[in-house]
Structure 1
Amino acid sequence: MAILDPTTTASDRPPPPPRDRCCAVREAATAELDAFEALDRAGVRAWQRDRLREQVAHARRHAPFYRHRLRALPPAAGEDPAQLPFTTKDDLRGGYPFGLLAVPLADVARYGESTGTTGAPTSSAITYQDWVRGNVSTARSLAHRFGPGDLVFVAIPYELSFAAYDLDRALETVGAAVVGTGILSAVCPVERTARMIAELRPAGIVCSPTRALRLHDLLRDAGHDPAALGVRTVLYVGETCSPAKLAKISRLWQAELVPAYGTTETNSLALSCALGRAHLTEDRHLFEVLDPDDATPLAAGRAGELVLSTLLAQAMPLLRYRTGDLVSVDPDPCPCGSVRATVRHHGRVGDRLHVAGRTLDRLDLEEAVLSVSGTGLYYAAGVVGEALHLRVECPDRPAHLVRREVADRVRARFGVTPEVGEVDRATVGRAMDAMLKPGNLTLADLDAAR
């Protein structure tokens, strides 16, 4: 399973027919995944150590960025990730567009870029083998829930992204029919997506959790009962949310909510098993969980920043890449039997709120707020001056009671007394329809939507 030499120039011999090439690469990737799943945890660690050493050599030899970054390291460096320097988002921006590319451009099968919403865009690239390796894993995950006769809406961005196409192709592989609506499209705005769901009655929807809420509201406002439309599974991507919010969405749709997690630079990083737990793609990445402030390793189960190193990437190897995502890895094996560890995504490091000398995890804050009886589906938080401000939806109980209980719950949980106001669902809807990532709803977004 060693990495093929990506600098080999194209042969004068004609390439194999596309169908033969596709089948051969997919069969090899499937065999690799089967072999990995047969390992025990000690075998996983040994396998990853060997692959990391190969990946470091590959990056050092062929990627301009790493040729410079790793020049002072001894030739044998690579078995221990702690020996390697970090790669950051700024490094990716500085290497835009091809500074981290480790293969000839002729070998690139797909090229993508980040949205650029938080700074200059970063680039990503994969070879055909990189693409199929990931897609085989995605198809295996989706096969737990979808098959022939199932219609599935893919309501996440297709533009410049790998994720939508990866899920699209994997759904085809397992026999499902795909409705590629995307999001924020002039051709298919969210209102049209809702109307199509009412007419086509899909078995599944791929979207963010907050988009699932918006679709529910639109369907309900149009006189439909979303729970009666036959949606069994909402595969949620692009954002994370608290157990309280997930439970509310599940009840509204009467559907199972299943996570998938990835980044622009790597595509999938965690895919769900039959039990709905997100398993890290440890066959393709080595993961570390570090303290986001001082980069020291954290004990299993503690939440910290996810740092990854690719193990098999041909086009764009990444070594100790600081994702900026907060995660916790479960130290116990999953009852499904997979050797791969399970992960919970807690949001972004940069989304933490700093108030009164305390650091608040947004997901923990969301859980505290939305678990209060009488809160609705939406809330927003922000720091104004030195104070924490919250706005909550209060559809089922008197707002003054809900607001007081939210303030009490947050004070008890975090030692911070918030200012709690109310927000109506119409304002939230207007704000969300203008956002690529509606899960990142802020006070400023609500103010702009008034």
Structure 2
Amino acid sequence: MAILDRTTTPRRAAPPSPRDRYCALRDAALAELDAFEGLGREAVRPWQLARLHEQVAHARRNSPFYRHHLAGLPADTGGEDPALLPFTTKDDLRRGYPLELLAVPPSDVARYGESTGTTGSPTSSAITYQDWVRGNVSTERSLAHRFGPGDLVFVAIPYELSFAAYDLDRALETVGAAVVGTGILSAVCPVERTARMIATLRPAGIVCSPTRALRLHDLLREAGHDPAALGVRTVLYVGETCSPAKLAKIARLWQADLVPAYGTTETNSLALSCERGRAHLTEDRHLFEVLDPATGAPLRPGATGELVLSTLVAQAMPLLRYRTGDLVSRDPDPCPCGSVRATVRHHGRVGDRLLVAGRSLDRLDLEEAVLSVPGTGLYYAAGVEEERLRLRVECPDRPARQVCAEVAERVHVRLGVTPEVTEVDRATVGRAMDAMLKPGNLTLADLDAAR
């Protein structure tokens, strides 16, 4: 018998070209988005629970971690109520590092990433090509409200290990914008070079953290430029949360719209902005809960609590009731843009709360109290020493003694704690920030090290 008998051996179809494969996945993902947006709000929960049922089955069957984590539970647990499932925590991800949570063969992974490890051992994340395209089209839809052909956009967030910078980069490219991928804390492109390039190229947008936007503004001013005259229309801020007072100051300085995006290393995007600038949860890919971080009990709509998520369509790394450690509040009212997705506001990390004499302080509430005082500048740092709240505040426009006294009074009135407040100069703040991956987490120790 001939080795190749064309009369009996079926011919295999040629695999699709990379371009055809991408186009097919992109078209399917866009159709999924449109179908979800066509749901009424009352239909969202049943739609999510049906997909959660499938996701739990996929995780049980294919993920070594969930095969063990869900052992002993009935096979259909979770499809009707996510609260019946156990939590997944950051420690679980650390123990499962690097691939115990993987639910596909390693050969199916298109991208692998890790957390920075700044708060403990790193965690891993992985996505298939379909996971990647699904997320990217959501980002593309969001960015199309702000950017298009002829726009130049700087992406000044880390490219190393995470997905966010590449996700934004590719989505910007798809909507027709030109991208300058500067990253941050790079020996090739330090923040000073980024500022010089912004002055030269005059971009339409910058993707960075809010505090990095302030630092770039300072450097441009020091070089003799007026940042508000450089043509930046939009600052897409990621990587840290911000009080309304701080956002208002940044918007005024740049004369630009500040638009949020929010995600995690393990999931990529979790909330993307609409044309109104409000962050909408990616409810077509995740089921979200807002729970009391201490008890795990669900909170009323609008209350601030820990965001807990379950993936709905993840192939590579399903996560079930994952405790993000992020504090959020979900708006109970629909957005005027008409999207079926709920909107969310990020309030920082559960672990970022300050404990002062038995009282827990939300850093965002503290920032709002401090920076809303007339005469405060753009920067402040907080810490607890010997059970006392200590603040260092920039005071560029009024006598420091007067400003510090008013800050102490406002914090006392709003938060019930009387802090010790002293002045800090902007040069010290700048030196500290330039050495930090996340300058929004500026601490008293960072300032002391930068003296």
- Tell me the TM-score normalised to structure 1 length: 0.97
Query: 3-state SS of the aligned residue for 1:372?
Result: coil
Alignment match, 1:113: 114
> Hey, what does 2:293 align to over in structure 1?
292
Matching of residues 43-58 of structure 1 within 5 Å: 43-58=43-58
Q: Which amino acid aligns with 1:62?
A: N
Query: 1:313 — aligned with what?
Result: 314
1:59 pairs with 2:59: yes
Distance (whole Å) between structure 1 residues aligned to residue 14 and residue 155 of structure 2? 36
SS at match of 1:34: helix
Matched, 1:375 2:366: no
Check if 1:146 corresponds to 2:147: yes
Partner in structure 1 of residue 174 of structure 2: 173
Question: Quick one: distance in 1 between partners of 2:386 and 2:68?
Answer: 43
Q: CA deviation at 1:12?
A: 7.2
Distance 1:76 1:238 in 2: 37
Please give the alpha-carbon distance, in whole angstroms, between the structure 2 residues aligned to 1:125 and 1:421.
45
Take 1:356 and 1:14, find their aligned partners in 2: how far apart are those partners? 69
The separation in 2 between residues aligned to 1:13 and 1:428, in whole angstroms, is 62
Cα distance in 2 for partners of 1:34, 1:305 equals: 29
Which position in structure 2 is the counterpart of 1:8?
none
Paired AA for residue 70 in structure 1? L
Give the counterpart letter for 2:46 in structure 1.
A
Counterparts of 2:36 and 2:319, CA distance in 1: 21
* Deviations, residues 98-141 of structure 1 (Å, cap 9, x unaligned): 00000001100000000000000000000000000000000000
CA distance in 1, matches of 2:14, 2:277: 44
- Percent sequence identity over aligned pairs: 85
Provide the residue aligned with 2:333 in structure 1. 332
SS for the counterpart of 1:389 is strand
Distance 1:164 1:14 in 2: 34
Per-residue displacement from partner, 1:27-80 (whole Å, max 9, x unpaired)?
Answer: 000000000000011211111000000000000000000000101110111221
Pairs aligned (count): 440
**2:395 equivalent to 1:394:** yes
Instruction: Please identify the structure whose Cα radius of gyration is greater.
Output: 2
Counterpart mapping for 1:9-158 below 5 A: 14-79=14-79, 80-158=81-159
* TM-score (norm. length: structure 2): 0.97
> Displacement, 1:15?
2.6
Distance in 2 (alpha carbons) for counterparts of 1:138 and 1:105: 26
Q: Secondary structure at the match of 1:199?
A: helix
Partner Cα distance (1:269, 1:174) in 2: 20
TM-superposition CA deviations, 1:149-204 (whole Å, max 9, x none): 00000000000010000000000010000000000000000000000000000000
- Residue 214 of structure 2 corresponds to 213
Residue of structure 2 equivalent to 1:448: 449
Return the offset for 1:144.
0.2
Pair 74,201 (structure 1): closer, same or farther in 2 beyond 3 Å: same
C-alpha separation between the residues in 2 aligned to 1:91 and 1:76? Answer: 22
Give the match's secondary structure for 2:111.
strand
Letter in 1 for 2:42: A
- 3-state SS of the aligned residue for 1:308? strand
Distance 2:181 2:30 in 1: 26
Gaps of 5+ in 2: 1-10
Deviation (angstroms), 1:356: 1.6
2:61 corresponds to which letter in structure 1? R
Take 2:213 and 2:93, find their aligned partners in 1: how far apart are those partners?
A: 32
Distance 1:75 1:210 in 2: 47
Aligned-partner SS, 2:397: coil
SS of the residue aligned with 1:447?
A: helix
